[in-house]
Structure 1
Amino acid sequence: MNWLIANWETVWPIIIQHTVLSVVPTVLGLVIALPLGMLLVGRPRGRGVAIVVASIVFTIPSLALFVVIPSIVGTPIISPLNVIIALTLYSTALLIRTVLESLDAVPDDVKDASSAIGYSPIKRVIAVELPLAIPVLVAGLRVVAVTNVSLVSVGAVIGVGGLGQLFTAGFQRDYPDQIFAGIITILVLAFIFDRVIAIIGVATTPWLRSDRVKAKRASRRTPNERTETAMLDTVIAKGDI
């Protein structure tokens, strides 16, 4: 920690680079996976192919992908684009499954009701299913974001690794403090990413907040109050009042 404080001016630009290399692939992966997943809803064959391809992509070692991409797209070996492209592929591979699972989590009766009132399949997905799928989608996005924060450091082996540079430099100099500084900073960065996405998830699902408030209020009731409420509900259901 002392090393991190003493060298903050040097570490800060590296943190910025690491943040950019983590955020951009996460956003791009979501932008690609979301419409693709929506398109594959109700298409079992296409869905199966997409999941298989995504699984294969995610099994490719990150370092190998960082090295192979320049020969495919023609970028320099130490270009940050190599890391961004590789992590975008990983993000898309993870998120495509998450998008499909989040849309599957929407109750069938909700889908049927929206279709009954005249929603087209596309409008139903966008206006009904997607908002209800946000909690599951946010959970998957949190995993992807934290994974990217970790994988960016691998890029240090090819000269583009953000905070991973602290690992390689510390290893070459046999200086554990520098390595620990990199580990701590990455952990803090991953925690911040996770919290920010979680807050966005809460902000975009106000109906869940109201449900939580009602649940808390119900949990604070005394046993007598709960009994009275249950009896009142029973009377109302019978039509006595």
Structure 2
Amino acid sequence: MNWVGNNLELIGDLTLVHLRQSLIALIAGFIVSIPLGWVAWRYRLVRSSVITITGLLYTIPSLALLILVPVVTGWYSIVSETNLIVALAIYAVAILVRAVADGLDSVDAGVRQASTAIGYGSFRRFWAVEFPLAGPVVLAGLRVTSASTIALATVGILVGIQNLGYLFTNGLQRRIIPEVFAGVVAVVVLALVIDLLLVIAGRLLMPWTRGVKTVSRQGNRTLVKA
């Protein structure tokens, strides 16, 4: 493990680059997914089509997508961090559109009617009532997407984009097993840290989800579970 100790600065720099690429793609994918998920929820006739088409994006091989993105966007240099971020954002959209649609589906119709009755317009109702209540389902989708995005970002090294994937390819080419192991551990730790931060953010932004109690009856007894 001497290699790890002698290259902590390299690992740290690559981790920061990897984090930046992943977060930008995740945020971009999330922003795009909100209106698409709303359309899929609001208009039942196109729901299946929107979710199916966006879901199929995830079936595109990552290396092929990295080559196709420059052709579609006009950024013809494959070795471009922007192209990697666009590709990762596309994969994020593939997961998050369904999460947003399912989250909005989970909102009780009575809550919508009550918010309308007290004067909320459709725009205000969405942001103040519907989307916050859809939060737990959307957050679950975000957690899955963050882990997927961080893992997929390593593929960028195959077209020359530097991130933690460098430790995999360089370690394999030079047969330095600790380097490969360091790359694997760094990716896993990064994914776990982001997941933990998302959980904490969810608890802070959605305090009503904490301490939820379920009530059930067994015979003449009432059982309450936290």
Deviation at 1:154, TM superposition (A): 0.9
2:155 is the counterpart of 1:166: no
Whole-Å separation in 2 of the counterparts to 1:107 and 1:176: 53
Deviates more, 1:200-209 or 1:41-50: 41-50
Segment of structure 1 superposing worse, 77-86 or 105-114: 105-114
The answer to whether the aligner puts 1:23 opposite 2:23 as a matched pair is: yes
Correspondence 1:130 to 2:127: no
In structure 2, what is the equivalent of residue 97 of structure 1?
98
- Conservation of the 8 A alpha-carbon contact between 1:154 and 1:161: no
Of 91-100 and 35-44, the range deviating more from structure 2: 35-44
Distance in 2 separating the partners of 1:194 and 1:81: 24
Q: Contact conserved, 1:26 with 1:144, CA < 8 A, in 2? A: yes
**Which residues of structure 2 form unaligned runs of 5+?**
216-220
Where in structure 1 do 4 or more consecutive aligned residues deviate above 3 Å? none
Displacement after TM superposition at 1:161 (Å): 4.5
For residues 145 and 208 of structure 1, the distance between their equivalents in structure 2, rounded to whole angstroms, comes to 21
Which residue does 1:7 correspond to in 2? 7
1:106 alignment partner in structure 2 = 107
Length, aligned pairs only: 215
For the structure 1 residues 127 and 69, does the alpha-carbon distance in structure 2 shift closer, same or farther, using more than 3 Å as the test? same
Deviation digits for residues 186-230 of structure 1, max 9, x if unmatched?
A: 000000010011111110011223x35xx5xx9xxxxxxxx8xx7
Which one-letter code corresponds to 1:14 in the other structure?
L
**Distance apart, 1:55 and its partner CA:** 1.6
Shift, 1:14, TM fit: 0.9
Q: What's the TM-score once normalised by structure 2's chain length? A: 0.89
Q: Which residue of 2 aligns with 1:191?
A: 192
Tell me which amino acid in the other structure corresponds to 1:8. Answer: L
Structure number with larger C-alpha Rg? 1
Instruction: Tell me the CA shift for residue 124 of structure 1.
Output: 2.0
1:34 matched to which residue of 2? 34
Using the TM superposition, name which of 3-12 and 85-94 deviates more.
Answer: 3-12
Distance 2:103 2:201 in 1: 17
CA contact (8 A) 2:39 2:47 kept: no
Q: CA deviation at 1:115?
A: 2.6
**1:140 CA displacement:** 0.6
Matches of 1:138 and 1:107, distance apart in 2: 18
2:16 and 2:42 map into 1 onto residues whose CA distance is 41
Partners of 1:151 and 1:21 lie apart in 2 by: 11
> Alpha carbons of 1:117 and 1:184: their partners in 2 closer, same or farther (altered >3 Å)?
same
Deviation at 1:129, TM superposition (A): 0.9
The code of the aligned residue for 1:180 comes to F
Deviates further, 14-23 or 1-10? 1-10
Considering only aligned residues, what root-mean-square deviation do their CA atoms show, in Å?
1.8
Rounded Cα–Cα distance in structure 1 between residues aligned with 2:87 and 2:106 = 29
Instruction: Name the structure 1 match of 2:48.
Output: 48
Please report how far the alpha carbon of residue 100 of structure 1 lies from its aligned counterpart in structure 2 after TM superposition: 0.4
Question: What is the TM-score normalised by the length of structure 1?
Answer: 0.83
Alignment-mate amino acid for residue 126 of structure 2? V
Which digits, 9 at most, give the CA deviation of each residue in 1:154-207, with x for residues without a partner? Answer: 111111151000000011111111100100010000000100111111100112
- Please give the per-residue CA displacement for 1:6-62, whole angstroms capped at 9, x wherever unaligned: 201122211111001110010001111113322443201232221121122111011
- DSSP-derived class of the 1:162 partner: coil
Q: Which protein has the bigger helix share?
A: 1
Distance, in Å, in 1 between the alignment partners of 2:204 and 2:21 is 25
| 2:17–2:163 CA contact under 8 A, matched in 1 | yes
Structure 2 equivalent of residue 222 of structure 1: none
Q: Does 1:83 align with 2:74?
A: no
